[in-house]
Amino acid sequence: MLSVVCPRIGRLTSTVASRMQQVDLVRAADDAVLAFWREVEVQTRRSAAVDHRVIVDLERRGLAGLGAYASTAALARDVLRIVPGEATALVHAAHRLGPRHLPSQPVLPEQYPDTAQAVQAGKISARHAAVVTRAVDQLPDEVVDELGGWVQSHLLEQARVADPMLLARYATSRIDRLDHRTAGTGSWTTSSSAASCGWSIVRMAVAAWRATAPPRPPSSCGCSSTRWPHPDPNPTRRRIRAQPGRGAMMRCWSWSSWLCAPGNCRTRAR
């Protein structure tokens, strides 16, 4: 059956790829070009789900051992001509997002079904999925039983608006907030996490802007700094807490008060 379907799939995908390569983008409007680019990316992301199914079936057949390969990743590296890190990540993703086969049971669903469905629909990329699954894996077992589904669905929502790097930072901050117990109750809480979900994105955006910001102009006290934020901030610096109705920027650190403090700045030569 597959020997008959495979040539047809090859011809079909070849035809679609050829037509996409021949699309006249010069005469198209700006919005049409962006929409075309997004659609190409969606279909490219969906192909990752096919890789997952192929890898799972390769391991079920034991082709790596039959071919004298050390692992499935080594087989993928030889067949697909990819680097070892990419092959390992591909196999790990297949274990988490692909169907599971057991000798005594029928095919089981994916370990992370929500993330697998998002990849199959092309809503997130393989790197987004790796961040989500790795974040859930880092949670303790009791937290996974209680909040694992919430963490996964929440990170999937953020994956639609953030790139994998920002998503990884965001996931780290969420795990840090979840990694504590409510005093006197011993239960895990998400109240503070759910209430301040948007603040982490704001802080990450501000941090990215600060990393590329030009030198700060001299302040009114006659002090100047070569670059901010300082690589070794004072642990006693003052923090402005965000209040209801105030701007998101009030959530940021008050670097100005720290930079102008005695001993924390370079005085201008007079």
Predicted confidence at residue 103, as pLDDT, reads 66
Euclidean distance between CA atoms 72 and 67, whole angstroms: 10
Confidence of residue 104 (pLDDT cuts 50, 70, 90): low
Q: For residues 160-167, give the mean pLDDT.
A: 94
Place of tokens 């997002």: 97
Give me the half-sphere count of Cα atoms (radius 13 Å) on the Cβ side of residue 96.
Answer: 24
What is the predicted pLDDT for the residue at 179?
59
Contact between residue 27 and residue 34 where contact means Cβ atoms under 8 Å apart: no
Band of the pLDDT at 37, cuts 50, 70, 90? Answer: very high
The ranges assigned to domains in the chain are 1-102, 124-212, 214-267
What is the rounded distance in angstroms from the CA atom of residue 7 to the CA atom of residue 3? 7
Q: What is the per-residue pLDDT across 183-207, written as a single tens digit (0 to 9) for each?
A: 334 444 444 443 344 344 434 444 4
Q: Which residues contact 122 (CB under 8 A, 6 or more apart)?
A: 41, 42, 43, 44, 45, 46
pLDDT digits (tens, 9 = 90+) for 210-220: 444 444 555 45
Can you list the alpha helix ranges (DSSP code H) found in 138-179? 141-159, 164-178
By percentage, how much of the chain surpasses pLDDT 90? 45
SS3 108: strand
Residue 161, pLDDT > 50, answer: yes
